[in-house]
Amino acid sequence: MKVFNKIVDLQNALFLARKQGKKIGLVPTMGALHEGHASLITKSIGENDITVVSVFLNPTQFNDQSDFDRYPRTLEADSRLVEACGADYIFAPSVKDIYPCPDTRHFEFPPVTTVMEGERRPGHFNGVCQVVSRLFYIVRPDSAYFGEKDWQQIAVVKQLAKYINSNVRIVECPIIRDPDGLAKSSRNSLLTKEERAIAPAIYQILRESVGYAETHSLKETRNMVVERINAIPELEVEYFEIVDGDSLLPVENWERSEYIVGCITVYCGKTPIRLIDHIRYKDRKNKRR
């Protein structure tokens, strides 16, 4: 495995690989890697000849400076994980390399960039689009791999790929969870021992809500989830939206769509740490899950 910090060095290596007809996979990350990232890397390795893992903490997608400041930075440990997975290259550029001058581009793809996370984190998805478009330009991957935990982000990236006329294939990979159900996240390392013990209740309640939804209205289901989570000390729901899985717009009842997803963000602890998750209520075959 090789680590590249400079764009030109990575591009030279990829030029040779591409000249030999090799397929290139990209796993974009912000570092603080875990088993969820490892699953993306493994997926890419299985489908491509060369796998590039980018490790870049992107400042333009943080609307809260304190969130950016305390985000884990663990490049040495990240490198060990990437090497253990068997990836070929790590791309760990500086901010100056990615943004040699201020990025003034503005990306907006309503409604997917304007609801839920987009509404509550102004500028977040614009920053995501800025860095992903740069990575697509630099790496020119055949496929790029994203985890379903950031479910709304995948919808945004798909719109971005269309907008910039990129032929990259966007590959969605399942959420990886701890045995107690908590979705793997780089932010989990910021939880105290007590907070970590409480956080799995989020997914447990989401799972229970699937059965509850069989005999209750959409509004009742939403209220149940919010009330149950808010009743737990150290947890506070920022939002829980039940939406159409394609448009990401809220639905009024279970009959309005054949693909319905519940998306949640919860603050955990006194700091607090912002945790996201989601659950599918209906799939495209119009069956409850």
Residues 6+ apart with CB under 8 A from 38: 81, 85, 176
pTM as predicted: 0.95
Annotated binding site for beta-alanine: 61
116-153 pLDDT, tens digit each = 999 999 999 999 999 999 999 999 999 999 999 999 99
Contact 279, 221 (CB under 8 A): no
Give the residue numbers spanning the domain of 200: 186-279
**Beta-carbon neighbour count of residue 175 at 10 Å?**
17
Rounded CA-CA distance 12/26 in Å is: 16
Q: Which two tokens stand for residue 255?
A: 């009959």
203-217 pLDDT, tens digit each = 999 999 999 999 999
As a whole number, the mean pLDDT across the chain is: 96
Mean pLDDT of 255-267: 96
Give me the pLDDT at residue 246, please: 93
The catalytic site residues sit at 37
Whether residue 118 sits in one domain with residue 34: yes
CATH no. for residue 193? 3.30.1300.10
Annotated binding site for ATP: 30-37, 147-150, 176, 184-187
Q: Which two tokens stand for residue 237?
A: 């729901």
Whether residue 267 sits in one domain with residue 134: no
Query: Does the pLDDT value for residue 289 go beyond 80?
Result: no
Annotated binding site for (R)-pantoate: 61, 153
